[in-house]
Structure 1
Amino acid sequence: MQQVEPDKEFLIKLAHTKMPFGKYKDRFLIDLPEHYVVWYHSKGFPKGKLGEMLDTIYTVKLNGLEDLIRNIKKQYPKPR
């Protein structure tokens, strides 16, 4: 079985990305309420990079790995 390596740059960017619109505008994606992410999952995530990031946040929250993303945010500076 082939092991999948996470994309380090994607995870760093994910840790520093804020919601660009809506009720939770300017809140870090990792800090979005779980019910909101679950609702978005059932509704369908937006297309593009934001949708990919929200889908990853959904998986992170589903597996209780929020601290992993928060630790990445602390350890690595915001990418340009």
Structure 2
Amino acid sequence: MSKLQTEAADRMIDRIASAAGSREAALQELMNSLGGIPIGRPGLPEEVAELAAFLVSDRAASITGSEYVIDDGTVPTS
């Protein structure tokens, strides 16, 4: 499951909230089911878009063959 807070994710949180009692409790339940999110919140589609916009800009002209992981800190790095 994506860890981005999209419209579909918002609708799922609303459905869970009806049983969980509150939207905050539903969001926490969803984050826990995903194994937690180290930054404490789901990522936003706009955050991914900002990286994409940078990569297609002239400022990133010398960047080639790179891989970017946008995972809200869930993949451990050393």
- TM-score normalised per structure 2: 0.30
Query: Which structure has the larger Rg over C-alpha atoms?
Result: 2
Q: Could you say which structure has the higher helix fraction?
A: 1
